[in-house]
Structure 1
């Protein structure tokens, strides 16, 4: 069973959680309308949404150690936003985080709006513009793009940590004066891992299908499908490797849960009202293979949902 990664129910006051649900729903409503443009969802873009979601879901299962007794994991918002555009990237992140909460009981249902806002909205929308701005300022080269994504990825982790602490403080869960330095200090290290993974993934895309990086606006529906096929095949191998690597993930709690323990509010978390594949496991089965199977199930569901959502959005826009 893998350590859980996201804010559980009980950490946030109901009014704070509801406000973040409303804010997140508003942003995602706009995002779904934006990706309804046929030019932005046709062909390779639709496939890329599924691939991105599958990779981010799988990669988030791998917790890497960052300090004694603490681990971190990929967020992926900047990567998704840079490859797909900020609106499609937000939908990808919301789908990943939603499936994690609903099927794997990773993150609370009441806290789902906050988790999506912190990891899937702030980093994806803000981080994408930061990454593009840095890349353009440095000359628009491939190296500039990688630097921009790396810096923005680190900043997205810091922003998510800061907003999470603010929400915990507003909920009366912890003192912001204690929580903020602890969260930012720990997540400054986690952000380095985020930056390295994001840059490595973008380098892979640049080598496999460089035309994807040539535009961050509407995609041309007439783009050749062959790069998409290459990317699907290569991504399938990468996702498989990442799922297998999750067997060796750090068992230490992630930054938030470690700080919750250190500051004495971990007991405020409440269990999910139901369990399906809790902790990324298969009911009735134990051991590492069950974790891989659960991860594969999540990958397939996320990819299928994203491809379906993008096609439905395009169809409705065209009616």
Structure 2
């Protein structure tokens, strides 16, 4: 049986989905990503370019921190709700896609054939649902207490619809019966979603206190010292990664309980497997170094991509 990454949660490995289901997910994802690129090119707010890189770095780092959940399971932050609410749907989706792609390509966290499915269930579906709930409930204009409540509800619901999407994909693939996998996925992710809600509310509250102009379309952003501070926060989160919960989480727990964990396929290559550096072994230092590489890489990729789109729009 293959050893799955500790941060599987909603990262689907190759082997869980039928190839036709994976192909359909890729088709949907590529269409939506195409829309994201075109809309970002037309609508990108230049102030959000550095924030997009920092947001992607924060989400990557936060996803390394598994927190314990009842019943010997664990969960980790997804981040789609936070990215879409702060960056908007299109730039937020590009940031989430970069995180998921780097996790799969560099850290073998999530399969390559099913990467389209992972972007769909961890970026597109939860992000748009969270943003719709947040805007429908007037989160931006609400009082502080109501805004936090709306943000938390949107984040929790984003995890639940993501879990629902994964359950449906597994059922369509014939991997597990819907009557088995659906209640299991929704049950465990109802608890994991509470952690998602708390982290999302805390992150948005911090941004509103530290740099409220980043959330105000009418305000001008001052000096860029907050960029260094934001990157420092992401790197500090990586330092805590070796102390994350080692319990199976989300999808891994469901897969083991439902008996289809063994269908997961190993990646065809390894670079920094399971967020470790091979020559440093399976140690805390190895995890930290791998995490630092990931944080800097996703921050750089998203920032460069946003700047490139901005330049093409100006041209």
Same fold (TM over 0.5): yes
Aligned length: 309
Q: In the TM superposition, what is the alpha-carbon distance from 1:178 to its structure 2 partner?
A: 0.8
Does residue 194 of the first structure (1) align with residue 196 of the second (2)? yes
- Residue 166 of structure 2 corresponds to which residue in structure 1? 164
Q: In the TM superposition, what is the alpha-carbon distance from 1:89 to its structure 2 partner?
A: 0.6
CA distance in 2, matches of 1:300, 1:237: 11
Contact kept in structure 2, 1:60 and 1:75, CA below 8 Å: yes
- Residue 40 of structure 1 corresponds to which residue in structure 2? 44
CA distance in 1, matches of 2:184, 2:150: 26
CA distance in 2, matches of 1:165, 1:224: 42
1:289 corresponds, among 282, 285, 291, to: 285
Does residue 248 of the first structure (1) align with residue 243 of the second (2)? yes
After TM superposition, the structure 1 = structure 2 runs for residues 93-108 of structure 1, keeping only pairs within 5 Å, are 93-108=96-111
Contact kept in structure 1, 2:69 and 2:192, CA below 8 Å: yes
CA distance in 1, matches of 2:109, 2:199: 22
2:260 corresponds, among 254, 258, 265, to: 265
1:115-152 per-position Cα deviation (integer Å, ceiling 9, x unaligned): 1100110111221121122235x952333322221101
- Residue 204 of structure 1 corresponds to which residue in structure 2? 206
- Residue 184 of structure 1 corresponds to which residue in structure 2? 186
Contact kept in structure 2, 1:132 and 1:145, CA below 8 Å: no
Does residue 119 of the first structure (1) align with residue 122 of the second (2)? yes
Q: In the TM superposition, what is the alpha-carbon distance from 1:230 to its structure 2 partner?
A: 3.8
Between 1:184-193 and 1:230-239, the stretch displaced more is 230-239
Q: Mark the runs of 5 or more structure 2 residues left unpaired by the alignment.
A: none
1:55 corresponds, among 49, 55, 58, to: 58
CA distance in 1, matches of 2:288, 2:160: 30
TM-score normalised by the chain length of structure 2:
0.94
CA distance in 1, matches of 2:228, 2:268: 38
SS of the residue aligned with 1:10?
coil
SS of the residue aligned with 1:274?
coil
1:196-224 per-position Cα deviation (integer Å, ceiling 9, x unaligned): 00001011101111112223xxx77xx23
- Residue 313 of structure 1 corresponds to which residue in structure 2? 309
- Residue 221 of structure 2 corresponds to which residue in structure 1? 224
CA distance in 2, matches of 1:52, 1:317: 22
SS of the residue aligned with 2:126?
helix
- Residue 25 of structure 1 corresponds to which residue in structure 2? 30
Q: In the TM superposition, what is the alpha-carbon distance from 1:193 to its structure 2 partner?
A: 0.2
Does residue 238 of the first structure (1) align with residue 233 of the second (2)? yes
SS of the residue aligned with 1:284?
helix
CA distance in 2, matches of 1:192, 1:30: 31
CA distance in 2, matches of 1:106, 1:68: 24
Contact kept in structure 2, 1:103 and 1:276, CA below 8 Å: yes
SS of the residue aligned with 2:52?
helix
Between 1:266-275 and 1:245-254, the stretch displaced more is 245-254
- Residue 77 of structure 2 corresponds to which residue in structure 1? 74
CA distance in 2, matches of 1:298, 1:72: 20
**Superposition CA RMSD, Å:** 1.6
TM-score normalised by the chain length of structure 1:
0.93
Q: Mark the runs of 5 or more structure 1 residues left unpaired by the alignment.
A: none
CA distance in 1, matches of 2:7, 2:235: 21
